Protein backbone atom coordinates (compact mmCIF):
# COMPACT_ATOMS: atom_id res chain seq x y z
CA UNK A 1 0.00 0.00 0.00
CA UNK A 2 3.07 2.12 0.04
CA UNK A 3 3.11 4.67 -2.69
CA UNK A 4 -0.51 5.66 -3.26
CA UNK A 5 0.55 8.97 -1.84
CA UNK A 6 4.13 9.73 -2.79
CA UNK A 7 6.32 12.53 -4.04
CA UNK A 8 3.47 15.02 -4.20
CA UNK A 9 1.33 12.72 -6.32
CA UNK A 10 -1.73 10.59 -5.64
CA UNK A 11 -1.76 7.26 -7.42
CA UNK A 12 -4.87 5.16 -7.79
CA UNK A 13 -6.38 2.55 -10.03
CA UNK A 14 -8.85 2.67 -12.89
CA UNK A 15 -11.06 -0.22 -13.97
CA UNK A 16 -10.88 -0.76 -17.75
CA UNK A 17 -14.21 -2.56 -17.61
CA UNK A 18 -16.55 -0.25 -15.67
CA UNK A 19 -14.46 2.91 -15.38
CA UNK A 20 -14.33 3.03 -11.57
CA UNK A 21 -11.51 5.24 -10.38
CA UNK A 22 -10.33 4.46 -6.87
CA UNK A 23 -7.54 5.34 -4.49
CA UNK A 24 -8.04 2.07 -2.58
CA UNK A 25 -5.63 -0.79 -3.17
CA UNK A 26 -6.96 -4.02 -4.69
CA UNK A 27 -6.34 -6.73 -7.27
CA UNK A 28 -9.83 -6.56 -8.75
CA UNK A 29 -12.44 -3.84 -9.16
CA UNK A 30 -14.57 -3.45 -6.01
CA UNK A 31 -17.56 -2.44 -8.16
CA UNK A 32 -17.61 -4.98 -11.02
CA UNK A 33 -15.01 -7.58 -10.07
CA UNK A 34 -12.97 -7.11 -13.26
CA UNK A 35 -9.26 -7.91 -13.01
CA UNK A 36 -8.46 -5.26 -15.61
CA UNK A 37 -7.15 -2.53 -13.36
CA UNK A 38 -4.60 -0.03 -14.57
CA UNK A 39 -2.57 2.47 -12.63
CA UNK A 40 -4.13 5.87 -12.73
CA UNK A 41 -2.79 9.20 -11.58
CA UNK A 42 -5.45 10.96 -9.49
CA UNK A 43 -6.16 14.68 -9.73
CA UNK A 44 -4.79 16.77 -6.88
CA UNK A 45 -7.80 19.05 -6.70
CA UNK A 46 -11.42 18.46 -5.95
CA UNK A 47 -14.33 19.37 -3.72
CA UNK A 48 -15.46 18.28 -0.27
CA UNK A 49 -18.53 16.00 -0.33
CA UNK A 50 -18.71 15.23 3.41
CA UNK A 51 -16.72 16.25 6.48
CA UNK A 52 -16.44 16.42 10.22
CA UNK A 53 -14.45 18.52 12.65
CA UNK A 54 -12.75 16.03 14.96
CA UNK A 55 -12.24 17.06 18.56
CA UNK A 56 -11.26 13.67 20.01
CA UNK A 57 -8.35 12.23 18.00
CA UNK A 58 -6.55 8.89 17.96
CA UNK A 59 -2.88 8.65 18.94
CA UNK A 60 -1.42 9.51 15.54
CA UNK A 61 -3.29 12.84 15.47
CA UNK A 62 -2.99 13.63 19.14
CA UNK A 63 -1.37 17.03 18.64
CA UNK A 64 -3.46 18.00 15.62
CA UNK A 65 -7.02 18.18 17.00
CA UNK A 66 -9.26 19.84 16.23
CA UNK A 67 -8.96 19.22 12.50
CA UNK A 68 -11.26 18.38 9.61
CA UNK A 69 -11.62 14.85 8.25
CA UNK A 70 -12.95 15.05 4.70
CA UNK A 71 -14.18 12.95 1.80
CA UNK A 72 -13.11 14.69 -1.42
CA UNK A 73 -14.45 14.07 -4.93
CA UNK A 74 -11.41 14.56 -7.17
CA UNK A 75 -11.74 16.56 -10.38
CA UNK A 76 -10.81 13.71 -12.72
CA UNK A 77 -13.02 11.16 -10.94
CA UNK A 78 -12.61 9.04 -7.83
CA UNK A 79 -12.94 10.01 -4.18
CA UNK A 80 -10.32 10.08 -1.47
CA UNK A 81 -10.39 10.72 2.27
CA UNK A 82 -7.97 13.05 3.96
CA UNK A 83 -7.53 15.58 6.71
CA UNK A 84 -7.24 19.36 6.82
CA UNK A 85 -4.98 20.61 9.62
CA UNK A 86 -5.92 24.26 9.22
CA UNK A 87 -9.67 23.80 9.52
CA UNK A 88 -10.46 24.11 13.22
CA UNK A 89 -14.17 24.74 13.45
CA UNK A 90 -17.43 23.91 11.77
CA UNK A 91 -17.83 27.42 10.29
CA UNK A 92 -14.43 27.16 8.54
CA UNK A 93 -15.68 24.63 6.00
CA UNK A 94 -18.70 23.70 3.96
CA UNK A 95 -19.68 20.91 1.63
CA UNK A 96 -18.63 21.91 -1.89
CA UNK A 97 -15.45 23.70 -0.71
CA UNK A 98 -12.68 23.42 -3.35
CA UNK A 99 -9.53 21.88 -1.91
CA UNK A 100 -6.10 20.83 -3.11
CA UNK A 101 -3.74 18.12 -1.98
CA UNK A 102 -0.74 19.37 -0.07
CA UNK A 103 2.08 17.01 0.78
CA UNK A 104 2.40 16.71 4.50
CA UNK A 105 5.03 16.51 7.20
CA UNK A 106 3.46 13.23 8.31
CA UNK A 107 1.94 10.19 6.61
CA UNK A 108 -1.67 10.63 5.54
CA UNK A 109 -3.43 12.50 2.77
CA UNK A 110 -3.59 16.18 3.65
CA UNK A 111 -5.72 18.86 1.98
CA UNK A 112 -5.84 22.63 2.18
CA UNK A 113 -8.42 25.01 0.74
CA UNK A 114 -7.65 25.59 -2.95
CA UNK A 115 -7.14 29.28 -2.31
CA UNK A 116 -4.74 28.80 0.63
CA UNK A 117 -1.09 29.60 -0.01
CA UNK A 118 1.56 27.14 1.16
CA UNK A 119 3.51 24.06 0.27
CA UNK A 120 2.49 21.40 -2.21
CA UNK A 121 -0.29 21.22 -4.76
Following CA atoms 26, 41, 81, 96 in sequence, which dihedral angle do they give, to the nearest 10 degrees? -140
* CA–CA dist 101, 114 (Å, integer): 8
Comparison of 38 and 94: residue with beta carbon closer to Zn ion: 38
- Give the number of other Cβ atoms within 10 Å of residue 43's Cβ: 18
Residue 15 · residue 23 · CB < 8 Å:
no
To Zn ion, the closest distance from the beta carbon of 6 in angstroms equals 24
Site stretch for Zn ion (CB under 5 A), options 12-20, 45-53, 57-65, 86-94: 12-20
Instruction: Determine, following the binding rule CB under 5 A, whether residue 35 of this chain makes contact with Zn ion.
Output: no
Residue 76 touches which of Zn ion, another protein, none (Cβ within 5-8 Å per kind): none
Q: What is the contact surface with Zn ion in residues (CB under 5 A)? A: 15, 17-18, 20, 29, 31-32, 34
Amino acid sequence: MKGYEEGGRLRGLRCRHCGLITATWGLACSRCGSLELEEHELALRGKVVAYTILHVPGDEFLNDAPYAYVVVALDGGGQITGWMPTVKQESDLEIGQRVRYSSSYKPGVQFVKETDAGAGG
